[in-house]
A and B are shown apart, each in its own frame.
Chain A
Amino acid sequence: GAGVSQSPRYKVAKRGQDVALRCDPISGHVSLFWYQQALGQGPEFLTYFQNEAQLDKSGLPSDRFFAERPEGSVSTLKIQRTQQEDSAVYLCASSDSGTASYEQYFGPGTRLTVT
C-alpha cells in the first residue's frame, strides 16, 4: 500500500483479555518500530525490528508485551492479560534504512481501551 496501515483502529478489551495489534509497513521498508502513546504525551519507544530480527525491545513495559515480525514485513504486537494502564494509542512506523534520510513513516495507530 501507499502508507503504513494498522488494524484494528480501535480496540476495547476487558481487563485480563489478550489482544493482538497488527501493523503493515510500507512495502520494502526494512525497519519497523512500535510506540506507545498515552493521552497527552509524546510517543514512547517500545521495540524495533530490522527485517525479521528484533534488535531492541528495551521499551516493552513488561513481559506481558510481545512483538514479532516473522517474515520481515507484517508485525504483530501482542499484549497478554491486559491491564488498565495498557490503555493508550499504539503507533507503528517503518523506515527504509537504505536511504540516507532514515525518515520514519507512521501509521494511524490503534487506540486500545482496557475496561
Chain B
Amino acid sequence: KQEVTQIPAALSVPEGENLVLNCSFTDSAIYNLQWFRQDPGKGLTSLLLIQSSQREQTSGRLNASLDKSSGRSTLYIAASQPGDSATYLCAVPPGGYQKVTFGTGTKLQVIP
C-alpha cells in the first residue's frame, strides 16, 4: 500500500525566504506526482505535475523535483510571500492508475 509522508507538518517563515517542502512515498512505481495548494475552506488547486520520466517542473517561483528511486519529491518556493500561506499537499498515483494517495500536507505561514 502506498504511503505518502510530508515533512514538516507546519512551517512558519518570514516574507522573502526561500523554502523547501518535502514529500516521500513508499512505492516508487508511480505514474506521476502532483503538488497541490489548499486554502482554508477551499478545494485543491493544482500547482505542478511531474511525470515519472521527468526530474523537475517549474512554474514561476515554484520548482518541484522528483527522485523516483529514493521515493522523494521536493517543492521549492522562492522569495516567499504572505499570499503563499496555505496547506501544500503532494499526491501520488500508482503506476498506470489514477487512484491517488495524498500526504497529510504541510501548513505554511509566511509572515509579512
Q: When chains A and B are docked, how far (Å) is the Cα of A41 from the Cα of B4?
A: 12
Indicate whether B78 reaches chain A with its CB closer than 8 angstroms. Answer: no
19 CB < 8 A contacts A-B? A31-B98, A35-B100, A43-B44, A43-B100, A45-B100, A56-B99, A91-B43, A95-B98, A102-B32, A102-B93, A103-B32, A103-B34, A103-B46, A104-B34, A107-B43, A108-B42, A109-B42, A109-B43, A111-B41
Residue of B91, B100, B104 contacting most chain A CB atoms (<10 Å): B100
Asked if A45 meets B101 with Cβ closer than 8 Å, knowing A100-B51, A104-B34, the reply is yes
Closest to A3 in B: B43
Decide: B104 and A45 in contact? CB cutoff 8 A: no
Interface residues in B, total, Cβ within 8 A: 24
Closest to A95 in B: B98
Q: Please list the 10 inter-chain residue pairs (A to B) with the smallest Cβ-Cβ separation, ordered nearest first.
A: A42-B102, A106-B44, A108-B43, A106-B43, A42-B104, A109-B43, A43-B102, A103-B49, A42-B103, A102-B98
Decide: B99 and A48 in contact? CB cutoff 8 A: yes
Asked if A44 meets B102 with Cβ closer than 8 Å, knowing A100-B51, A102-B93, A106-B44, the reply is yes
Q: When chains A and B are docked, how far (Å) is the Cα of A35 from the Cα of B38?
A: 14
Residue of B34, B89, B102, B103 contacting most chain A CB atoms (<10 Å): B102
B44 partner residues in chain A, CB cutoff 8 A: 43, 91, 93, 106
Indicate whether A97 reaches chain B with its CB closer than 8 angstroms. Answer: yes
